Structure 1
Amino acid sequence: MFRSRPGVFRAPAVALVAAASLILTLSGCGVDPITPGDARGKAASDSSDSKGGGGEGAVDCARAKCIALTFDAGPGKDTPHLLDILKEKQVPATFFLLGKKHVDRYPEVVRRIHDEGHEVANHTWTHRVLTDLDADEVRDELSRTQEAIRKITGRTPTLMRPPQGRTDGTVSDVSRDLGLAQILWSVTAKDYSTTDSALIRRRVVDAARVDGIILLHDIYDGTVPAVPGIIDELKRRGFTFVTVPQLLAPGTAEPGTVYRP
């Protein structure tokens, strides 16, 4: 999990602390995650016309072997190259963007992410751990990035990822007010702790499963070079890459709700 601030490497042991914090935070505050399959099933049972996913549902993840590729804490200097790779491979992704020194530094890259059909999402303004903040501070962290992205793309994000995956009732309430669903993950390469692209690739491929959500960071040196191999191998294994909204379709991500495979 992403414990460090962008551009700062931490020892792998820190990731274990972050993992424990995530489990305690989710289990101790009444936040019950919903799986992508449950989201699809709920939509199917609630509506006979299956309109929930709209155009997002072109891929039927109830039948296909879907997996979502997501990137946190960008954009950064390597994001344009990543976008070139995704375009060449015809793979959509979901980008959870950081506001300060990222969205405000690379507005043209944010616009390109949006224009090329990827999902643009929120990863707070300064990457503060939201469960350490009061409601007004949580709102500020999220709303500033919401507005910055809206000004660039013309669209307000509907998804967010809490730093370190740490959430609670307060975070959920504020997210609901801002129209943001919370998206966690099932696969992490711990790319903050290594520049070994082959290792990053192996960690992702080994942990990949149906309805998975892959967490990577396009701000670390070893990550973007690992992406072509990840895509090629998972395609070879029969996976279809989708955005997070496509993974949930015909359901839609409900504000405040936590989604985790």
Structure 2
Amino acid sequence: MLVRHIINIVSVIAGVLLISAVSFNKLPWWSLLVLVFLWLLVTAYGVANIRSGYFLKSLNSNPDAEGKKIAITFDDGPDQNTLEILKVLDKYDVKGTFFCIGKQVEKHPEILNRIIEAKHIIGNHTFSHDKLIDLYGTDRFTEEIKDADEIIEKISGKRPLLFRPPYGITNPKIARAVKKTGHAVIGWNKRSFDTTIPSEKVILRRVTKNLKSGDVILLHDTKSITVTVLEQLLLFLQRNNFTTVTIDELFSIQAYV
């Protein structure tokens, strides 16, 4: 966030200097367009990359984690496919963190409770996960977080403190909403792209390449391909002496109110 303020201040100063230079015919007018383009480019990177910390602080990995600990997270459930994910996790006695969508919780309350009964951790992933949710105003986005919290608590008795923005998108409105709700924002540093990549080998290679202690892996429990990838991943972790922990354990934070 400090970086964003510095960039904005530098951009304003540079803009004033450029306007002066253009006024005295020292520089061509299009030099202003170059500055605007560069500012937009940096801002777009900040919006799309949760790890940049451009708009808000997020927990993406913990390089100080003792031992070879990593966290596996799942987005967009609960879903019927989540049951298969739970079977694989149970087979290897591994705990994961599930960032759940409120409307999916309404559809599959029994699966939400299965996740919790198996001692996995539940996080908030907004109520609707609408395709245009990153365009919502602060108040509307705040309601998305609160509504998801309420339905999760109503069904499970647990009110999550962990939140992951849909698509990993961040902006000033989302930052203000999260500040109001008091959630810890959880990102990742190992993105699988299991929702778009059709190859199990490619997905597995993406999440295991240069894997190190403290890493956070992003998967989706809504995809059947993820079930197979998950088992291969857990075998890889076993062979390489990694320990899988939940997000709250990895970062030593509270998962629920």
Q: Does 1:179 align with 2:174?
A: no
The structure 2 residue matched to 1:106, chosen from 108, 115, 122, is 108
Q: 1:145-164 maps to which residues of 2 (within 5 A)?
A: 145-164=148-167
8 Å CA contact retained: 2:49, 2:168: no
Question: Partner of 1:127 in structure 2?
Answer: 129
Q: Does 1:231 align with 2:257?
A: no
Secondary structure class of the residue paired with 2:107: coil
Question: Partner of 1:86 in structure 2?
Answer: 89
Question: Partner of 1:247 in structure 2?
Answer: 250
8 Å CA contact retained: 2:158, 2:256: no
8 Å CA contact retained: 1:68, 1:242: yes
Cα deviation, 1:28-47, whole Å, max 9, x if unaligned, reads 53x34456548x7xxxxxxx
Alpha-carbon distance in 1 for matches of 2:108, 2:124: 15
Alpha-carbon distance in 1 for matches of 2:133, 2:95: 28
Higher RCO, 1 vs 2 (CA within 8 Å, ≥6 residues apart) = 1
TM-score (norm 2): 0.75
Secondary structure class of the residue paired with 2:145: helix
8 Å CA contact retained: 1:180, 1:254: no
Alpha-carbon distance in 1 for matches of 2:223, 2:45: 20
TM-score (norm 1): 0.73
Aligned-residue RMSD, C-alpha = 2.6
Alpha-carbon distance in 1 for matches of 2:225, 2:51: 30
Secondary structure class of the residue paired with 1:191: coil
Distance 1:94 1:254, change over 3 A: closer
Q: 1:178-197 maps to which residues of 2 (within 5 A)?
A: 178-197=181-200
Secondary structure class of the residue paired with 1:121: strand
Distance 1:232 1:25, change over 3 A: closer
Q: Which has the higher helix share?
A: 2
**Which is worse superposed, 128-137 or 156-165?**
128-137
8 Å CA contact retained: 2:68, 2:214: yes
Cα deviation, 1:171-208, whole Å, max 9, x if unaligned, reads 23322332311100001111111333233222211252
Match of 1:107, as an amino acid? P
Structure 2 unaligned residues grouped into runs of 5+: 1-43
8 Å CA contact retained: 1:25, 1:168: no
Number of residues of Structure 1 aligned to a counterpart in Structure 2? 213
Q: 1:33-112 maps to which residues of 2 (within 5 A)?
A: 33=58, 36-37=61-62, 61=65, 63-100=66-103, 102-112=104-114
Q: Does 1:168 align with 2:157?
A: no
The Cα of 1:216 is off from its aligned counterpart by 0.5
8 Å CA contact retained: 1:98, 1:122: yes
Consecutive aligned runs of 4 or more in structure 1 exceeding 6 Å deviation = none
Secondary structure class of the residue paired with 1:141: helix
Question: Partner of 1:23 in structure 2?
Answer: 49
Alpha-carbon distance in 1 for matches of 2:222, 2:246: 20
Q: Does 1:200 align with 2:226?
A: no
Alpha-carbon distance in 1 for matches of 2:127, 2:223: 19
Distance 1:120 1:254, change over 3 A: closer
Alpha-carbon distance in 1 for matches of 2:166, 2:199: 23
Structure 1 unaligned residues grouped into runs of 5+: 1-17, 41-60, 256-261
Which entry has the higher C-alpha Rg, 1 or 2?
Answer: 2
Alpha-carbon distance in 2 for matches of 1:105, 1:252: 27
Alpha-carbon distance in 1 for matches of 2:128, 2:254: 27
Alpha-carbon distance in 2 for matches of 1:187, 1:24: 12
Secondary structure class of the residue paired with 2:213: coil
